[in-house]
Amino acid sequence: MIHLAAFAALASLSLSWLSLLGQDSSADVSIDPIPALLASADPARLTRDIETLVSFGTRHTLSETESEVRGIGAARRWLKSELLRISEATGGRLQVREQRFTARVGPTEAELVNVYGFLPGRIGDELGRTYIVSGHYDSRASRALDAEALAPGANDDGSGTAVVLEVARLLAGAEFEANLVFLLVPGEEQGLFGSKHFASEAVASGLDVEGMITNDIVGGTEGGNGVRDEVTIRCYSAAEGVDSTSRAMARALASSATKYVSDAKVKLVFRTDRFGRGGDHQPFHDAGFPALRLTEANEHYGRQHQDVRVEEGVAYGDLAEFVSGDYMARVARVNAAAIAEMALAPPPPTNVSMRAAVSYDTQLGWTPSFEDAEDGVLPAHSYDIVWRDSISPVWTNEQSVPAIVRVQAARRGRPERRVVQGKVEGATADTHYFGVRAVSAAGHRSRVVMPSRP
């Protein structure tokens, strides 16, 4: 097992606390474990996973569940066996689970099953800070309720399913501050049933979903318009008003990709999803959780939701030959980089406030991520104040602030509180947006939190 958190935690604790733990205060916290984790992403393995998923003939939500070789039941059992194999190969900490529920799919009441791997974090709380990587394992042909037709679903969404398995392989042997979930859901094609159920259960149980990424149609490199792009990955995020936690997470993912995956380009798209369409991130965003959708740069509509056939020399259907193992490996590394960095970082700061009226400067204050190391959870080593012009889509400036906690006395009915403060000189909130993120000793960054009045 790779104890990644040890790299990040040591420098954030005081020397006296380190001596109590029996740790060497001179330990090197500058080593970043993430590049080594990403190195083993395997295009050939991803391609084999696609071939296996396609071999089930159809994975339609209402297809065969008893057969061992055809239908969604066979696919589900294979996925569970792969997660169990990953757990065994990486030390056994990955807990493989099922979530069974019923849903009305068209005229049929059907039992559906979410399959997922749960990797506990150092927080020691199953309902604590959790990051989810998702794909849907069902497929369809031309007619949404046709459970018998050949529906290979290589790209939609065999590719996302294979990426989730690969991200699990990359990360399941490591230890993170936060919990990780590698989630495979059915019923996306008929109404996002699997993701709706998981998000609903998360709300009901009080699960702290700090971020969710769904991977859907992430295997093709050539669009129906003839445009070929092997490096760009579109990232969709929703917002209400100026910003949202989902959009903040999208920027964090793009930043992690720039830092760790030099052969990928994340294109931020500031809308919930492609026009007139949806995905499994939507129920999570609607439930108040940060959630994103990743998808390929240029879709080929002749290879989605199509009966397999040839018309006038043109091949239709979602076939394995149209999916790129190299591209899926790139997508897997982007997922793993973002999730690993956020799960190794301290939690985002809370209660961010700003004082900037009638001023040439901007002052921000916030509640520390964790107030003392005795909680057993990684406190922030420092914070970044970030800012951008009001029309810029991404953060363009940053200023580091030490994690020095100040006590503000109680006044006007407000209780005493502990805060960290920072001031940016020469940048006014009249023309800029500001935010704050927490940073670990190894430089891993949380998503940015903006003031309640941006």
Q: Helices 43-54 and 325-344, interaxial angle, to 10°? A: 110
pLDDT at 408: 80
Mean pLDDT, residues 49-72: 98
Distance CA(445)–CA(338), nearest Å, equals 10
386 strand-pairing partners = 398, 435
pLDDT at 29: 59
pLDDT at 22: 32
CB under 8 Å to 56, separation ≥6 — which residues? 69, 70, 71, 72, 74, 75, 78
Number of H helices and number of E strands within the chain? 11, 17
Which of 338-374 are b and which e, b meaning 16 or more Cβ less than 10 Å from the residue's Cβ? Answer: bbbbbbbbbbbbeebebebeeeeebbbbbbbbbeebe
Instruction: Indicate the pLDDT class of residue 16, thresholds 50, 70 and 90.
Output: very low
Run of H or E including 7: helix 4-9
Report whether pLDDT(360) > 60.
yes
The domain 350-439 is placed in CATH, from the list 3.40.1710.10, 1.10.760.10, 2.60.40.10, 3.90.550.10, at 2.60.40.10
pLDDT at 18: 30
Run of H or E including 315: strand 314-316
Report whether pLDDT(187) > 80.
yes
Tokens of 207: 């699960």
Side-chain-side CA neighbours of 6 within 13 Å: the count stands at 12
Nearest to 429 by CA among 364, 365, 357, 366: 357
What pLDDT, in 10s, does the model give residues 288-322?
999 999 999 999 999 999 999 999 999 999 999 99
What pLDDT, in 10s, does the model give residues 98-128?
999 999 999 999 999 999 999 999 999 999 9
Mean pLDDT, residues 11-39: 55
Side-chain-side CA neighbours of 328 within 13 Å: the count stands at 33
pLDDT at 378: 62
| Start-end of H helices in 55-98 | 72-89
Where are the chain's structural domains? 34-344, 350-439
Average pLDDT of every residue of the chain: 92
pLDDT at 11: 35
Residue that the structure tokens 């392989």 belong to: 169
The answer to whether 84 and 212 are in contact (CB under 8 A) is no
The percent of residues in the chain predicted with pLDDT above 70, rounded, is: 91
Nearest to 170 by CA among 374, 328, 294, 6: 328
Report whether pLDDT(41) > 90.
yes
**78-87, 130-139, 162-171, 403-412: lowest mean pLDDT where?**
403-412
Positions of E strands within 8-137: 95-105, 108-119, 130-136
Q: What are phi and psi of 135, to 5 degrees?
A: -155, 160
pLDDT at 107: 96
**73-82, 311-320, 375-384, 413-422: lowest mean pLDDT where?**
375-384
pTM of the predicted structure, to 2 decimals: 0.92
366 strand-pairing partners = 420
CB under 8 Å to 253, separation ≥6 — which residues? 213, 235, 266, 292, 334, 338
pLDDT at 30: 66
101 strand-pairing partners = 112
pLDDT at 15: 30
Distances (CA, A) of 385 to 345, 437, 448: 16, 7, 9
Nearest to 46 by CA among 150, 155, 141: 155
Nearest to 159 by CA among 111, 215, 211: 215
Instruction: Indicate the pLDDT class of residue 28, thresholds 50, 70 and 90.
Output: low
pLDDT at 220: 98
Q: Helices 72-89 and 43-54, interaxial angle, to 10°? A: 150
Name the CATH topology of 34-344: Aminopeptidase (3.40.630)
The answer to whether 183 and 116 are in contact (CB under 8 A) is yes
pLDDT at 234: 99
What pLDDT, in 10s, does the model give residues 199-236?
999 999 999 999 999 999 999 999 999 999 999 999 99
Distance CA(176)–CA(111), nearest Å, equals 34
**Strand 232-236 to strand 265-269: parallel, antiparallel, or no bridges (unpaired)?**
parallel
| Start-end of H helices in 293-442 | 325-344
